[in-house]
A = this chain, B = another copy of it.
Amino acid sequence: MAAKKEVTNGVEWRIKVADDSSEILVPEAKPARDVLLGLMFFIEGLAMKVWKFLQQAWELGVDDPRKVVHCLKVGVALTAVSLFYYMRPLYDGVGGSSMWAIMTVVVVFENTVGATLSKSLNRVCGTFLAGFLALGVHWIANQSGETFEPVIVGAAVFLLASAATFSRFIPSVKVRFDYGAMIFILTFSLVSVSGYRVDKLLDMAHQRLSTIIIGTSLCITVSMLVCPIWAGQELRSLITRNMDKLADSLEGCVNEYFQEGGSLVERNKECQKKLQGYKCVLSSKATEESMANFAQWEPAHGRFNFGHPWKQYIKIGASMRSCACCIEALNGCINSENQAPEEFKKHISNISLKVSSNSSSVIRELATTAKSMKKSSNMHCVVGEMNSAVEELRANLKSLPSLFNSPLMSEVEIHENKKIEPASRTMETMPDLLEIIPLVTSASLLIEIATRVNGIVDAVEELADLAEFETASNEKSTKNELSNHFLPDQQKDNETTKDFQPV
């Protein structure tokens, strides 16, 4: 009631001012109603925003229930680590340092096992290294008397913190040990500076390290045992999903151009989304790289062994992006204003459709290979079909100019274009090349796309050899010989992978 009165007073005051300046009589009740209305609108707007936010969250959860599971896992881990506070014997064991266990769980628990492992190991190693160094610095500072102690500690903190911060800029450190470097700076500063005030420094350091180890082990256990999300599997499914998208948009793009008589045809939303699939491929570089990085921290799981060549997936992604770039250019070409006459289109329509559908089949076959981790038995077959279709398209393009001078553009002649009378052909009736440029460009880009699809095939075959994919049952034995040639390479790769593993 008091609040309402205040509002009314404020309104009265405003009315007075209005009276003074413009002398318009305003009914007393109206502004109060206006204020209430405004407040209602505001609350309504806020409620709408909150509602939309919740709706978005709900859709996200329905879309990928594993995200919800991850949240529950975090909740479980945090509640479990809280036991250190609730249970007297546990609390007596580590005391106030339980805080560090909670902090570790919050900071280290990530969505995928690889990310959690990477952060955990970084945290433990960074803490251990920094604590060790800080104790050394503290001991030296302690020996040099009370006046010099802060100076020595301060200088050490300044130098090591600067150096460690700089190391975070170096790419090789940044990719893998960024978090470790940060934890190093943190622990070193805390321990060496605390040494000035805290007496039992060694006890503190020991307690902190042990609680951090407790926290990280809890995180690792929960993330690996309860519905684990492996970065490696995520990476593979991202790549295969992107392959399917690439195949869909390539096929859709070419179909739309040749079958439906141009790009001006109304597209429905679903179809439009399918056509834009290549854009996902173009923008997934960062995700792929971080996934591959996390996957390297993961132990053997499912059908991935420890030295699985994760970096090869990045190469596959790169070759897919180069292919997607061409599809983007093709899309631009197809949507351009200048369109080739239908007659010319029809001339290469069938073969273009064949090239695009064959290329899509190849990409889908590659997706199946990556999904099943088995060398496809008919890969050579579909690649061969694609390449022969490309050759056919080349041949058709070659015969395209003969269409210009044909007297009757009847369908029969288009298909049997070599039966045109030579007499009708003169120099004066040379074709308007401009008309068929979009068509030639599209066809040429289609050929280029097929070339780049071959690049993806090479990358996936290299993966199959490096990761020793099984050969599908009806496969000829020649392939096994091929994989033996790659063995030295594979060993090298395994060694490189091991080099990067934390010791």
B-contacting residues of A (Cβ < 8 Å)? Answer: 53, 56-57, 60-61, 67-68, 70-72, 74-76, 78-79, 82, 85-86, 91, 99, 102-103, 106-107, 150, 153-154, 157-159, 161-163, 165-167, 169-170, 172, 182, 185-186, 189-190, 193-194, 196-197, 282-283, 285-286, 321-322, 325-326, 328-329, 332-333, 336, 394, 397-398, 400-402, 404-405, 420-422, 425-428, 430-434, 437-438, 440-441, 443-445, 448, 451-452
Contact = CB atoms under 8 A, between A and B. Distances in A.
A169 B421 CA distance: 67
Contacts of A189: 78, 82, 102, 106
Given A57-B167, A401-B430, A437-B444, 6 more contacts: A79-B154, A99-B194, A329-B448, A398-B433, A400-B433, A441-B441
A197 B427 contact: no
B193 A102 contact: yes
A405 B428 CA distance: 10
A432 B398 contact: yes
B157 A434 contact: no
Nearest first, the 3 A-B pairs at minimum CB distance are A329-B329, A75-B162, A441-B444
A103 B434 contact: no
A437 B397 contact: yes
Specify how many copies of this chain sit in the oligomer: 2
Query: Do most interface residues of chain A lie in helix, strand or loop, or is the interface mixed?
Result: helix
A336 to B, nearest CB: 7
Taking each of A74, A91, A394, which has the highest tally of chain B beta carbons within 10 Å of its own beta carbon? A74
A150 to B, nearest CB: 4
A190 B427 contact: no
Nearest to A77: B161
Contacts of A285: 283, 286
B448 A444 contact: no
17 contacts: A53-B170, A60-B170, A61-B166, A75-B165, A85-B194, A106-B189, A107-B182, A282-B282, A325-B329, A326-B328, A336-B451, A405-B427, A421-B427, A425-B430, A437-B443, A440-B441, A441-B444
B440 A445 contact: no
A420 B172 CA distance: 62
B197 A91 contact: yes
Contacts of A196: 85-86
B82 A154 contact: yes
A433 B344 CA distance: 14
Given A71-B163, A161-B74, A186-B107, A402 B422 contact: no
B448 A440 contact: no
Nearest to A278: B325
A158 B76 contact: yes
Contact of A67 (B79, B169, B321): B169
Contacts of A443: 437
A190 B328 contact: no
A68 B163 CA distance: 9
A157 B425 CA distance: 86
Which one of A193, A329, A394, A401 has the highest number of Cβ atoms from chain B below 10 Å of its Cβ?
A329
A367 B6 CA distance: 55
Contact of A434 (B86, B159, B398, B441): B398
